[in-house]
Amino acid sequence: MRLYYVTIFLIFTRVYTSSGQVDTAQPYIYSDIQATQPLPEVAIHAYFREQPLLTSPVSVTTIGATDIATHQSSSLLSAVNTMPGVRMEERSPSSYRLSIRGSILRSPFGVRNIRVYLSDFCLTDAGGNTYLNLINPSDAAYIQVIKGPEGSVYGANTGGVMLIDPVQRRQDTFRLSAMAETGSYGYAQGRVHFQNSYKRLESDVALSYMRSDGYRRNSSSQQWTTQILERYRYSKTNDVKFLVLFTDLGYHTPGGLTLAQYNADPRAARPATTTLPGASDQKAAVYNQSILGGVSHSAQLSPVVKNVTALTVLHTGFSNPFITNYETRNENNVGIRTYFDWSGERSYKFKWSWVNGLEGQQFLSGITDFGNDRGVKDSVQTSYRFNAGQYYAFSRFTAEVIQRVTIEAGASINYNWYQYKALAPLRDAAVTNVQFATQVMPHVALAVKITDGLAWRASVSRGYSPPTIAEIHPSALVVSAGLQPEQGWNYETGIRYHDRRGIIYLDADVFYYQLDRAISGRTDSAGNNFFVNAGNTHQLGAEAQVVLWPVRTAEGRLHTGLKLMASYTYYHFRFGNYRSGAADYSGHYLTGVPPHTLAVNEMLDMPIGFYLFSQYGYTASLPLNDAGTTWARYYHLLEGRVGWKHSFKRCDLELYAAVNNLLDQKYSLGNDLNAAGGRYYNAAPGRNYYAGLRVAYHK
């Protein structure tokens, strides 16, 4: 906690002046769009420069600040699950899992097989892990997700890429806002947010605190977050950006239940057995103190050449008292990324961009497992030191011909390795080095603008993802040095449509992905995780999203409007050639992946500032083990929110109240896949409520 207070002291000892003008000629963050305004020609920044979403040849989906703010501020889950092909789960408060197109198979907890970037900085470390829960949900202003393997620019992955912009662009030169929320099960959150623009300096500082008692026993959580982003424009075309993110997070983990325990008391923590204590007895929990620092420099070297270089440093102190052990990790990660962007055009007939760059990361971690004596560290069981490195060079060429045809071609060369040394119980063990073969990840894509509002796209790309340190050395206290990277080819095609009046937007795609040596998680009888290569998988899917604005805001009138959105995902995912010992799982449904998901929501803005939001979600039954003998039941979720907004001369005010799981469904959100003893179920809250207040002063 001392580091946290030092951070606050440094913030408040700085003196800010509030006069100045905002230079909007070089936006580096995204403008907010009112939920019920018709969608303009939306642009994405997924590949370093602004590109119209309509003619992007890759599968990318976005959610903006208004969509995020409409949902409960304690979690991104409800907002992210409106994105087709993207699934977020929460086993207990602050314990997230993120899946893009079925990649949750290898993520019993955390985020793997997906690369996540916060502004210019890589949140995914060289060990392959991403602490997504370091980010307060209210600090995410804009999220883009590239679905499917995208390694030609963003490095080794087979799931996809998530890009998070932490700052919302506004016209105000000064803005000070505060938010407070409270709700069921002891939930409370407070946040103070400061934005200022003075001459060439733009500042964004957010401080937040969040706590919850949790729905289940032994599921309380608490989080302090400080996020500081500074941008200094020392010339019209050059700038330097600084980011500091500090999070002090602690949450208890209730553990999985059997079906009988789940039906008898879904709020229970994992009980003791004749051989093992329960989750409450062992005070099972996760404690994470992390600080991320980053600096990036953007320079327009000539009218056609731009360079961006970013340095990221991440330190994590991690503790995890568990049923069978007490693990501590001291992790340090440093990464650097640089690229040159050449661009040019010959009238309207031919525009081109060529990006070439390098990214490298180095990871060092000491991992020690102790015995756990009711939440207190006991004698050392094992101790290892891990080093890991990820390095890749990438190149991507994009051309637009006669404003109708967009062609992309790119590739990256990836080099990954790790080494480890046992420090206990054997102190003189030799260093073990594991180097994976250098891999090339190509990507080719094409988009054709058939009409001004209709575009067709197609792409072929190769995915590759080495095992993470958390999979090589899981809680089973062993090192799985034989675990191999997964890899495969993805083929997809799709269409986008945007009518001239801005009333309807449609995005749909189909894909086929064959993944070899897919990594799958297991759990032993004590509840420890371990991982194996599960043969290959055949993944055929379809995704669609439609957005309608049947009633729009009229210029000069009271703000009224209606926005409707629906997202649907269908997955026909199967194991290919997959044998585990004497068992043959070939042809079985892919574990943990529901074949159907649906999200539908509406946002109605009414006169005098009132608004009404509702969202319905459906998740089909899904297999809980590779054998397909046990399935989680389907469920329907309904949430609603009513609020009132009013803008004074220099002040904005919002009051709101909401209900989650209005139908009081009994369901498990974040099942423990392939759990020994049938302990699959992590019960989610029943019907629950929250209310909040937002106020802002601005110039």
Higher pLDDT, 525 or 495: 495
pLDDT, one tens digit per residue, over 150-168 is: 767 888 898 899 999 988 7
Q: Which pLDDT value is given to residue 629?
A: 95
User: What is the SS3 assignment for 570?
Assistant: strand
Q: Which pLDDT value is given to residue 31?
A: 33
> What average pLDDT is seen over the chain?
88
Lowest-pLDDT choice from 18-27, 182-191, 554-563, 683-692: 18-27
pLDDT, one tens digit per residue, over 279-325 is: 999 999 999 999 999 999 999 999 999 999 999 999 999 999 999 99
Rounded to an integer, the average pLDDT of 459-468 is 94
| Other Cβ atoms within 10 Å of 554 Cβ, number | 10
CA 591 to chain centre: 21
Mean pLDDT is highest, among 18-32, 231-245, 572-586, for 231-245
Q: Which pLDDT value is given to residue 12?
A: 38
**SS3 annotation, 441-487:** EEEEEEEEECCCCEEEEEEEEEEEECCCHHHHCCCCCCCCCCCCCEE
CA 145 to chain centre: 8
CA angle in degrees (0–180, nearest 5) for 272-273-276: 80
Dihedral sign, CA of 667, 141, 453, 554?
positive
**SS3 annotation, 218-251:** CCCEEEEEEEEEEEECCCCCCEEEEEEEEEEEEE
Rounded to an integer, the average pLDDT of 7-28 is 36
Predicted TM-score (pTM) of the model is 0.91
Q: Which pLDDT value is given to residue 172?
A: 64
Kindly tell me if the per-residue pLDDT of 118 is higher than 60. Answer: yes
Kindly tell me if the per-residue pLDDT of 640 is higher than 60. Answer: yes
CA-based nearest residue to 347, from 290, 304, 403, 295 = 403
Rounded to an integer, the average pLDDT of 213-236 is 96
Kindly tell me if the per-residue pLDDT of 7 is higher than 80. Answer: no
Q: Which pLDDT value is given to residue 554?
A: 53
Q: What span, in angstroms and rounded, lies between the C-alpha atoms of 639 and 687?
A: 9
Rounded to an integer, the average pLDDT of 505-518 is 94
Q: What span, in angstroms and rounded, lies between the C-alpha atoms of 592 and 368?
A: 30
Domains of the chain with bracketed CATH: 2-698 (2.40.170.20)
Q: Which pLDDT value is given to residue 511?
A: 97
Kindly tell me if the per-residue pLDDT of 216 is higher than 50. Answer: yes
Kindly tell me if the per-residue pLDDT of 370 is higher than 80. Answer: yes
Kindly tell me if the per-residue pLDDT of 9 is higher than 80. Answer: no
User: Is residue 599 a contact partner of residue 617, using CB atoms and an 8 Å limit?
Assistant: yes
Q: Which pLDDT value is given to residue 6?
A: 41
Secondary structure (DSSP) of 592-636: T--SEEEEEEEEEE-GGGEEEEEEEEEE--EESSTT---EEPPEE
pLDDT band at 203 (very low <50, low <70, confident <90, very high): very high
Rounded to an integer, the average pLDDT of 328-355 is 92
CA-based nearest residue to 658, from 636, 675, 643 = 643
Lowest-pLDDT choice from 51-60, 149-158, 587-596, 607-616: 149-158
Q: Which pLDDT value is given to residue 556?
A: 38
Kindly tell me if the per-residue pLDDT of 260 is higher than 60. Answer: yes
Kindly tell me if the per-residue pLDDT of 680 is higher than 80. Answer: yes
User: What is the SS3 assignment for 74?
Assistant: coil
User: Is residue 357 a contact partner of residue 391, using CB atoms and an 8 Å limit?
Assistant: no
235 Cβ contact partners less than 8 Å away, ≥ 6 residues apart: none
Q: Which pLDDT value is given to residue 479?
A: 87
Kindly tell me if the per-residue pLDDT of 558 is higher than 80. Answer: no
Residue type, 512: Y
CA angle in degrees (0–180, nearest 5) for 431-432-434: 140
C-alpha dist (Å) from residue 419 to 158, 414, 422, 490: 23, 17, 10, 31
pLDDT, one tens digit per residue, over 19-53 is: 333 333 333 333 344 444 444 556 676 666 777 88
C-alpha dist (Å) from residue 458 to 57, 171, 398, 495, 567: 6, 38, 14, 9, 20
Q: Which pLDDT value is given to residue 403?
A: 87
Percent of the chain with pLDDT over 90: 71
